[in-house]
A and B are shown apart, each in its own frame.
Chain A
């Protein structure tokens, strides 16, 4: 670690992570390598694919486009924070039940993106879901099953 390394302290999924890192370390690499949370996936490292989407202080964020030092003091939720212990949340259940994933590499980003979306729009139309996830790339599914998953989760969450 070089002399210009900086202290970073973030709360991820309710746990406090403190450490030092290079100022140029991305938040994604910090989460994956320093915190050992590999559910946040890196597909492109230039902000296009959306696989590394997490929630920082209530807003969806691409972890590859943010530096770890910028997140100092933040509350972060990653895909590992969605389930309650072994119990999946309704959105996760919906992706599993509706074949909303194939290889699953885009799935964490899709889940985090949809998490924020459903909080703001609990009764979305299919077109609104399509719009919502159009910043996230999926190469396997053709998106139809992801749209169905999000709609199904919205219905379950309204119950």
Chain B
């Protein structure tokens, strides 16, 4: 009997449907007081007056802190270009300038509002192209003094925060002999992660250390960031995780945590809680960056891509966060999943006076695949080729070598994806079903599973249940509450409901790379499996004495240790665990795991901070849409996904990730946009104007799981969650353009854009 691939109830389900679950925003501590931040009202300016005395005189106030009270330190995930508080210059709307701790939240907010702040506004750097011109103001005049958080410095200059350039030989020659040169420019907007639980944190300064309670995707990253900001060593910070109300990448870097920690210190060690209002959350969230992508392809008459140039200019916002690492993703996605000649890639990340951008599910890939797949449709149209046939002709196969020298050994899976969707929705039938204002789109992608390290300790308890200690967290996906739980249950031969996994605590568990890049089920599942393997060996060693059999002749299954071939000769593992207390000591195993980066050619590009994509997965999507020519609205009629997953551990978890990612992709394609005014301020301020997809907007996704078990993954698992967000913008845009017979190269495709295109 196996639980792998079976439907099992999620371990946190009871708590979540009953209202018992305690989320980060619900957490309270004895004696806790409340904090509030004073944030910059403008996106660029000089602080000319900052007087906290009125706030200190307000009722209930315990502490008011500003840059003068914070260590003179710079922090940052990749580049240390952030201060805790703005001191002289403000660089984006919402940037913290001061923080208050008071008895009640209302008192804290009133006191923050009483601080006297004068800011002399300066012109905001907003336009990405202008930001790169020599006469543009610099967002960080001191950029040269900044240092990376670790490792050597990387290419950056002025407002260019990071740069990745690949310039292989032969590109210009190929363009010179091209039958046709196809050129496109694509514009993608900012997208807000819009998790429903706003960010919060409770900080406590006690015994010379900082403890932070937070609902976070990456507790060890919070530990490191708080340590940088507060200028202490990482072990002086303890991060305790709580149930998390969604993150999608936005809760990977520290948010309110360092402020809560320092406020507690200033308030004499009282626990201080900070909670974002939704507007604060929206304005300061590290949203998915807006980007301009330009592609030129030199093509032969038969559609062969002789060479390509791809240029990406991405909006870093005012500080770097994780972003410099990600610039190289343009190199990995520049050809999509289609063969082509030498490809010149230029990716630049540009500082602007806007909120810092950051990780959002499918980092960089969403707009890169939108660009590449729209461009493929453009080439096919120019050469009057069938869009699907054209893709199949150039599709990557097994052993494909990429621009960075990485080899995709199993890229032939892509063809299986096209075949799987063909069986579900034959392209010819979809074409035959076309009529005015109804269109279809198709696209394909490859993606990574984040390789970050993870660890777990598995203990067999004396009642035959198991405890798993890990700093991995379940961001909602079920990766821990279903996936890791199932994997340990399977290995120990006990029911999933007998496996108990801790919430993260950086004082208790070993390092974990965070819930990002689809890694948890695979990486933490693998670490937990290694730990469980060790427990199984110990169980057998102890049981061997009880059963008077050799350990190698034993198997652990169904809650017992039994002699192979003689299942009647058995002893319950609970008894083994109890016996072990008096013989070998408690039964416990430890596991650690990290995926190595695949081999690559280091000289293929400059600025190659993310050099290759480990544990590739493959994706094919089709969308069918209908456009209302009167209102311009787009309705997604059908959405199909074929996806390589390694092996399905949880069918519910797998489908849930695909469905949820597609919904976010549909929002990105059609609805969601953080528009930025000329003053650098967001036009969207609340969820009222930031238009998230609703239940009526999202069709039921038709999904085919392709299974090619990964020998390095636990029971064959690869990452699942990110890939399906990569293609909705691409295939929906292709479908809308098909429906109206005109190109639309900006997202989101709003009704206004559709009507303008129809009427043009």
The docked-state distance in angstroms from the alpha carbon of A150 to that of B694 is 16
Q: Does chain A have a CB within 8 A of B412? A: no
Which residues of A in the span 32-79 have a Cβ within 8 Å of any Cβ on B? Answer: 32, 37-46, 48-49, 51, 78-79
Closest chain B residue to A46 by CB distance? B686
Verify if B453 is at the interface (C-beta below 8 Å from A).
Answer: no
Contact of A95 among B17, B21, B658, B664 (CB under 8 A): B17
Which of chain B's residues have a CB closer than 8 A to the CB of A78? Answer: 19
Q: Is the CB of B18 within 8 A of A143?
A: no
Among residues of A, the one whose C-beta sits closest to the C-beta of B26 is A38
Instruction: Give the residue of A45, A102, A104 whose beta carbon is less than 8 angstroms from that of B660.
Output: A102
A80 touches B18 (CB 8 A): yes
Which residues of B pack against A, CB within 8 Å? 9-10, 12-23, 25-26, 193-198, 243-246, 248, 277-278, 475-478, 652-653, 655-656, 658-664, 686-688, 692, 694-696, 698, 700-701
B23 nearest in chain A by CB position:
A105
- With a CB–CB cut-off of 8 A, which chain A residues contact B476? 101-104, 140
Question: Is the beta-carbon distance between B244 and A103 smaller than 8 angstroms?
Answer: yes
3 closest A-B pairs by beta carbon, nearest first, are A39-B19, A103-B476, A105-B245
Q: Which residues of B contact A80 (CB under 8 A)?
A: 18-20
Give B246's nearest chain A residue, CB to CB. Answer: A103
Instruction: Note all chain B residues with C-beta closer than 8 A to A111.
Output: 17
Q: Which residue of B lies closest to A79 (CB)?
A: B19
Contacts of B15 in A (CB 8 A): 104
Q: Are A139 and B17 in contact (CB under 8 A)?
A: no
Give A37's nearest chain B residue, CB to CB.
B19
Contacts of B19 in A (CB 8 A): 37-40, 78-80, 108
Q: Tell whether, in the assembled complex, residue B12 and residue A104 are in contact, meaning their CB atoms are under 8 Å apart.
A: yes
Closest approach, in angstroms, between the C-beta of B506 and any C-beta of chain A? 21
Report whether B662 and A138 are in contact in the complex, using a CB–CB cutoff of 8 Å: no
Q: Is A144 an interface residue (CB 8 A)?
A: yes
Of A79, A134, A140, the residue contacting B695 (CB under 8 A) is A134
Distance in angstroms between the alpha carbons of A42 and B195 in the assembled complex:
12
CB distance from B242 to the nearest CB of A (A): 12
Give A88-119 interface residues, CB cut-off 8 Å to B.
88, 92-93, 95-97, 99, 101-108, 111
When C-beta atoms are compared, the residue in chain A nearest to B662 turns out to be A142
A residues less than 8 Å from B12 (CB atoms): 104
A141 at the interface (CB under 8 A from B): yes
A-B contact pairs, 20 of them (CB 8 A): A38-B23, A39-B19, A40-B19, A41-B245, A43-B197, A46-B278, A46-B688, A49-B196, A88-B18, A103-B244, A104-B17, A105-B245, A129-B695, A135-B694, A137-B196, A137-B694, A140-B246, A140-B476, A140-B660, A141-B663
Residues from chain A with a CB closer than 8 A to the CB of B277 are 45
State which of B194, B688, B695 has its C-beta within 8 Å of the C-beta of A133: B695
CA distance A136 to B20 in the complex (A): 20
Asked whether B16 lies within 8 Å of A99 as measured between CB atoms, the reply is no
Contact A142 B195 (CB under 8 A): no
A145, CB-defined interface residue at 8 Å: yes
Interface centre among B16, B195, B653, B696 (most CB of A within 10 A): B16
Most buried by B among A88, A103, A134, A144: A103
Q: Is the beta-carbon distance between A107 and B246 smaller than 8 angstroms?
A: no
A145-B659 in contact given A41-B197, A45-B278, A138-B196 (Cβ < 8 Å): yes
Most buried by B among A82, A144, A146: A144
User: Does B197 contact A39, Cβ atoms closer than 8 Å?
Assistant: no
Q: How far is the CA of A111 from the CA of B19 in the complex (A)?
A: 10
Tell me which of B9, B278, B664 contacts A96 (CB under 8 A).
B9
Are B687's CB and A137's CB within 8 A?
Answer: yes
Flag if B278 contacts A44 (CB, 8 Å). Answer: yes
Determine the residue in chain B with the shortest Cβ distance to A94: B17
Let me know if A130 and B475 touch, CB within 8 A: no
Sample of 8 more A-B contacts, CB < 8 Å, known A43-B197, A44-B686, A48-B686: A38-B26, A46-B278, A96-B9, A103-B476, A137-B687, A141-B659, A144-B701, A147-B695
A139 adjacent to B278 (CB under 8 Å): no
When the two chains form their complex, are residues B245 and A103 in contact, meaning their CB atoms are under 8 A apart?
Answer: yes
Bound Cα distance A83, B662 (Å): 33
The reply to whether B194 and A139 contact each other, CB–CB distance below 8 Å, is yes
Contact A41 B196 (CB under 8 A): yes
Least CB distance from A51 to B in Å reads 6
Q: Would B687 and A104 count as touching, CB distance under 8 A?
A: no
Instruction: Indicate whether A131 reaches chain B with its CB closer than 8 angstroms.
Output: yes
Contact assessment for A103 and B196 in the assembled complex, using a CB-CB cutoff below 8 Å: yes
Please measure, in the bound complex, the distance between the C-alpha atom of A48 and the C-alpha atom of B21, giving whole angstroms: 22
| Min C-beta distance of A150 to chain B, whole Å | 10
In the assembled complex, the Cα of A25 lies from the Cα of B652 at a distance in Å of: 40
Contacts of B20 in A (CB 8 A): 39, 80
Residues of chain A within 8 A of B194, CB atoms compared: 137, 139
**A80 CA to B26 CA, complexed, in Å:** 15
Are A43's CB and B196's CB within 8 A?
A: yes
Distance of A41 Cα from B26 Cα, bound (Å): 9
> B475 touching A103 by the CB < 8 A rule?
yes
Complex contact B695–A143 (CB within 8 A): yes
Contacts of B196 in A (CB 8 A): 41, 43, 49, 51, 103, 105-106, 137-139
Assembled-state Cα–Cα distance A79/B26 (Å): 15
In contact, A88 and B14 (Cβ under 8 angstroms): yes
Q: Which residue on chain B has the smallest CB distance to residue A82? A: B18
Q: Bound complex: CA of A88 vs CA of B16, how far in Å?
A: 11
Q: Would B478 and A102 count as touching, CB distance under 8 A?
A: yes
Chain B residues with CB under 8 A of A82: 18
A105 to B474, CA, bound (A): 13
Establish whether residues A142 and B663, one from each chain, have CB atoms under 8 Å apart when the complex forms: yes
User: How many angstroms between the C-alpha atoms of A137 and B476 in the bound complex?
Assistant: 15
Give bound CA distance, A42 to B655, whole Å: 27
User: Would B660 and A96 count as touching, CB distance under 8 A?
Assistant: no
Residue of B nearest to A127 (CB): B696
B682: min CB distance to chain A, Å? 16
Q: How far is the CB of B674 from chain A (nearest CB, A)?
A: 15
Known interface pairs A45-B277, A99-B10, A142-B660. Does A104 touch B700 (Cβ–Cβ under 8 Å)? no
Q: Which residues of B contact A83 (CB under 8 A)?
A: 18
Residue pair A38, B22 in contact (C-beta under 8 Å): yes
Identify which of B17, B23, B198, B700 contacts A92 (C-beta below 8 A). B17
How far is A66 from B660 in the complex, measured between Cα atoms in Å? 31
Given known contacts A104-B12, A104-B476, A105-B245, A139 and B195 CB-to-CB distance under 8 angstroms: yes
Most buried by A among B18, B25, B660: B18
B245 contacts A104, C-beta separation under 8 Å: yes
Q: Within 8 Å CB of A138, what residues of B?
A: 196, 695
A96 with B656, Cβ < 8 A, contacts A39-B20, A133-B695, A139-B248 known:
no
Evaluate contact between B16 and A107: CB separation under 8 angstroms: yes
Contacts of A103 in B (CB 8 A): 195-197, 244-246, 475-476
CA gap between A147 and B9 in the complex, in Å: 18
On whether A104 and B9 interact (CB within 8 A), knowing A130-B695, A142-B660, the answer reads no
Q: A93: which B residues are within 8 A, CB to CB?
A: 17
In angstroms, Cα B15 to Cα A95, docked, is 12
CB of B665, distance to nearest CB on chain A (Å): 10
Name the B residues within 8 Å of A142 (CB-CB): 656, 658-663, 698, 701
